[in-house]
Copies of this chain bind each other. A is one copy, B any other.
Amino acid sequence: MNPLRYDCMRLEEVATELFTRVGVSEHHARTVAQSLIHADLRGIESHGLSRLPIYMKRIEAKVIELDQEPEMVKQEGATALIDGKNHLGAVVGKVALEQAISLAKQAGIGFVGVRHSNHFGTCSFYAERAIEQDQILLVLSNAPESMAPTGGIRPFLGTNPMAIGIPAGKELPFLLDMATSVVARGKIALAAKKGEPIPADWAIDQDGIPTTDPERALLGSLLPIGGAKGYGLAMFIDVLCGLLTGAACGPGVQSLYENWTHPQNIGHVFLTIDVQRFWPLPVFQSRMDEYIREIKSVPKKAGIDEIMIPGEIENRKMSEQRVHGVSLSPGIAQELEQACITYGVDWGKARIGS
């Protein structure tokens, strides 16, 4: 049996309506809905509508606040600092992105630091928007503790993700979206649920020993990509997003799921580059197209159909799901349906063919 498919536009209406029911303005509700559905469209279910219930719960618990808009604390030269005022992460992120794009249009490059934000969805949501405006974006975020520094046995750093977007012409754009940990904690939780072992390079147990037992891994610490290199990258992201902006850093970043008394106080950084400072847009685009075609034509390993560029699998999935509907796993669909029942929103209209 194929999983059920849902129309992305109608899902957006449903999610927007749900957020307005807990007091989010229609405009901001739509932004957050779009950021979550962006992830589902790309096949990243862990960052999609599966997060809607927890966002709503945090708004109701007032650990996400709606009474103040994100505010520009400072804008000087090609930099800006934004205080998210503990609003929804995607609302804060969109304001920061727009500021960074505007700075890059003026100065060729823009750097926007953000403090007092919340979980802001996938980094790729912002990279895609920068690409649409012909800009290169590097977006960084810190996250709650889950990863020990190399040599350590207690989490200190988050999975601290980054995304990089680079526009192309006829080819799909470059869109790298990655955590600095080997995998997300969610993948280990899933293996634990299924009672399956995990690869030994995903996590360490509480004694710092690499483990294939997901239960032991969940009590331990995630491993960074490339050993000390990934640890260094995660620390760099924490320092920029947290320490430099004035957001929380290290274990000071609060959990989305477990802390109900304090704001997350996540920090982000948005760094934009206007490609038109270096090349007329059509020239840059055709050079990117040529580069992408060249890398895709490298001889392939037996059994590999095609060399993919970063984001290509997800971009293709998005195109397909825009047309044929977004597939949601039954557990997530059920949770959303439950939320719709609670708040009196029509869930049925999102179903394709309904």
Q: Which residues of A are interface residues toward B (Cβ below 8 A)?
A: 74, 76-79, 81, 106-111, 113, 136, 148-154, 156, 164, 166, 174, 176, 178, 182, 204, 207-209, 225-226, 228-233, 235-236, 239-240, 243-246, 249-250, 271, 273, 275, 277-279, 284, 287-288, 291, 294-295, 298-302, 304, 306-310
Contact = CB atoms under 8 A, between A and B. Distances in A.
A218 to B, nearest CB: 18
Contact of A207 (B79, B153, B298, B302): B302
A77 B111 CA distance: 13
Contacts of A306: 151
A194 to B, nearest CB: 22
How would you classify the secondary structure of chain A's contact residues: helix, strand, loop or mixed? mixed
Chain copies in the assembled complex: 2
Contacts of A136: 240, 244
Given A113-B278, A228-B310, A287-B243, A300 B151 contact: yes
Nearest to A182: B226
Given A151-B301, A154-B298, A239-B291, A78 B275 contact: no
Given A176-B236, A232-B164, A232-B310, A106 B77 contact: yes
Of the candidates A174, A228, A244, the one having the most CB atoms from chain B within 10 angstroms of its own CB is: A244
Given A77-B107, A225-B225, A228-B310, 10 more contacts: A79-B278, A109-B111, A149-B295, A152-B295, A152-B307, A153-B301, A166-B239, A176-B229, A176-B233, A235-B295
A235 B300 contact: no
A109 B156 contact: no
Contacts of A236: 164, 166, 174, 176, 310
A229 B225 contact: yes
A149 B176 CA distance: 14
B78 A78 contact: yes
A329 B83 CA distance: 53
A244 B108 CA distance: 13
Contacts of A156: 294-295, 298
Contacts of A299: 152-154
7 contacts: A79-B278, A149-B295, A151-B306, A178-B232, A225-B230, A235-B310, A239-B291
Nearest to A201: B201
